[in-house]
Amino acid sequence: MALLEVKGLEAFYGRTQALHGLDFELEEGGITTILGANGAGKTTTLRSICGMVRNNGAISFDGQALIGQATENIVRQGIAHVPEGRGTFVRITTEENLRLGAYTIKGAREVADGMERVYAYFPRLKERRNQQAGTLSGGEQQMLAVGRALMLRPRLMLLDEPSFGLAPLIVKELFEILRTINREEKVSMLLVEQNATLALNLADHAYLLETGRVVMSGTSDDIASDEAVRQSYLGY
Amino acid sequence: MDLFLQQTFSGLANGAIYACVALAVVMIYQAIDHFNFAQGEMAMFSTFIAWQLMQWGIPFWLVFPICIVISFAGGVAIERIIFGPIHDAPVLSHVIVFIALFSIFNSLAGFIWEFTIKPFPSPFPEAKLLDTNLIGNHELGMIVVVLFMLSLIYLFFRFTPIGLAMRAAAANPESARLVGISVKWMLSLGWGLAAAIGAVAGMLIAPVVFLEPNMMLGILLYGFAGAVVGGLTSPGGAVAGGLLVGVAENLAGTYLIGSELKLTFALIMIVGVLLLRPAGLFGRVVVNRV
Ligand SMILES: Nc1ncnc2c1ncn2[C@@H]1O[C@H](COP(=O)(O)OP(=O)(O)OP(=O)(O)O)[C@@H](O)[C@H]1O
Ligand SMILES: [Mg+2]
């Protein structure tokens, strides 16, 4: 059984409908990417899974129905969302941000362990642990967002354009770390990206979204070698 | 010089009252991002509950914690029942509900306990503790209690996970939900804490101004002034601001403007600070880069 199963997902902002019946699934331990142009509905899809937009249809996570549950309860089942724009708590320190990520984790030992793991992945965050998080650079805030998500000890990570605004070298580094997290910590990932080359490289499965509908799906290799995709998304 | 000292100390005594109220104002402002105009009336109502408990023969030292617990629960209930449903409504709706709460508490207190002035005992001993006429026991006690509350609040927000979660929920509700924080419970908790602090303020103020439904009217304005002067983001600033307003008002009343214009002076302080330093004297200016 798939870890995440989405059927007939519709989402609404006021009276405008942003998703028109999406179907997709994600295997436990896998990395799936959702590609699409600006406004295709990628962010909306991730926000629907976390119960942050009005939606209907069916979303099941590990057999549990998610639709209708409050965001904080969905999160508690092991879904960590790295949101578009990074969602930094700007007024508090880096370390307090990480501490908040572990809000649902009971036990000081577990929290301390989590902190050490995050600092091992992102030594830069350790150097900046007492710095006000709003003053971190864009790349550092992205690392912090991933670190905060990791603190939750998630089974599934939702990543909304983690490469956005980062220098190519940092992006490469970040994606290496994501791959390691996926392998070592057995965290499944649903990745939304503008940078299709990068995403197809990391993911095993891909879905292509156009104006709120899935127009193509398959393994990353299949999608990457598709002529139409190559021209409109990969640019060669 | 004597007059100056005398007025400074009596200003500090008043300031302690304002500091109490300012602290409650800042607490709720931190939690909900609005001024709660009904704050003073809630505190007054709590004080009446304390008075009633004492009338029934319960000793002060028991009444004090009971009243705090009742007020806390009342604050939570008000948020749950009244503000929960209108959470996403425009600011104006909130303001109107604040005003409604204000008049409900005011007239309810008058209806139950009547508008006659009632004495309220001071919890502090009568005998002189300090060999000075500059400040009385009750005023001194008040300052000590306020500073004690302030340190509790500081420790709570700085070092407990719930305190950190409350700050997070207020500053960035969306991200807070994404780490599993129930933002609506944090709001309720904020209301509960503010109501509890208000109750302490009311019980400390009542021995000085006497107990009656309108006892908080003027004081709330000074409390707002203290909170604004100190900076709405800083509990410590609110206390300092309250003391400052008390002293400044007294000195200005003595040397500059006479006592009739004291309240005007408080309003001028609010406007002046907002013009010159919108974040308040001690408020943190948020550094934010994206
Ligand atoms: N808060 C909102 N109110 C109204 N419409 C919205 C809102 N957020 C998104 N939309 C609309 O929903 C559609 C999907 O938006 P979404 O943010 O999911 O796109 P996206 O694929 O993430 O795009 P991008 O790559 O630019 O981030 C768009 O047409 C957008 O205009
Ligand atoms: Mg998006």
Distance CA B114, CA B118 (A): 10
Integer Cα distance of B175 and A148 in angstroms: 10
pTM (two decimals): 0.85
Question: How confident is the model at residue B234, as a pLDDT?
Answer: 82
d(CA B168, nearest CA chain A) in Å? 7
Cα A84 to middle of ligand 2, angstroms:
6
DSSP string, B56-69: TT--HHHHHHHHHH
Reference B179, options A45, A148, A83; nearest CA is A148
Question: B192: pLDDT confidence band, cut at 50, 70 and 90?
Answer: very high
Residue B130 has pLDDT above 80, yes or no: no
CB distance B125 to B141 below 8 Å: no
pLDDT value at B149 more than 60: yes
Per-residue pLDDT, averaged over B192-214, amounts to 90
In a domain, residue A139? The reply is no
B chain contacts of residue A130, beta-carbon cutoff 8 Å:
none
Domain ranges in chain B are 15-124+133-215
Give the up-direction half-sphere exposure of residue A129: CA atoms within 13 A in the CB hemisphere: 12
Residue A136 forms part of a structural domain = no
pLDDT in tens, A197-221: 999 999 999 999 999 999 999 999 9
Does the CB atom of residue A43 touch ligand 1 within 6 A?
yes
Token digits of residue B102: 């204000």
Distance between A87 CA and the closest CA of chain B, angstroms: 5
| Res A52 pLDDT > 70 | yes
Per-residue pLDDT, B284 = 62
Percent over 70 (pLDDT), chain B: 94
Q: How many CA atoms lie within 13 A of A40 on its CB side?
A: 19
Average pLDDT over chain A, rounded to an integer:
93
Q: Is the pLDDT of residue A192 over 60?
A: yes
The Cα–Cα gap between A79 and B102 comes to 43
- Residue A213 included in any domain: yes
CATH number for the domain spanning A179: value is 3.40.50.300
Which one-letter DSSP state was computed for residue B133?
Answer: S
Per-residue pLDDT at B289: 46
The residue in chain A having the minimum alpha-carbon distance to the alpha carbon of residue B180 is A72
| Per-residue exposure over A103-141, b if at least 16 CB sit within 10 Å of its own CB, e if not | bbbeeeeebeebbebbbebbebbeebeeebbbebeebbb
B207, pLDDT greater than 80: yes
Residue A148 in domain: no
Please determine, for residue B3, whether its predicted confidence score (pLDDT) is greater than 60.
yes
Percent residues over pLDDT 70 in chain A: 98
Does A95 reside within a domain? Answer: no
Tens-place pLDDT, residues B40-59: 999 999 999 999 999 999 99
Give the model's pLDDT for residue B131: 65
Beta bridge partners of A208: A35, A216
pLDDT digit string, tens, across residues A80-108:
999 999 999 998 999 999 999 999 998 89
Segment A95-124 mean pLDDT: 95
Number of structural domains (chain A) is 1
At B66-95, the pLDDT tens digits run 999 999 999 999 999 988 888 778 888 888
Q: Would you place residue B257 in the very low, low, confident or very high pLDDT band (cuts 50, 70, 90)?
A: confident
Neighbours of B25 (CB within 10 A): 30
Of the partner residues B179, B183, B290, the one whose CB lies closest to the CB of residue A152: B179
ipTM of the complex: 0.93
Poorest-pLDDT segment among A80-84, A141-145, A232-236, B214-218: A232-236
pLDDT over threshold 60, residue B36 = yes
pLDDT tens per residue, range A178-189: 999 999 999 999
Structural domain containing residue A26:
4-86+155-234
Alpha helices (H) along chain A: 42-49, 71-76, 94-101, 108-121, 123-127, 138-151, 168-184, 196-202, 220-225, 227-229
Q: Across A57-71, B109-123, B275-289, which has the greatest mean pLDDT?
A: A57-71
- Mutate which of A9, A15, A42 to test ligand 1's pocket (most atoms within 8 Å of Cβ)? A42
Structural domain includes residue A109: no
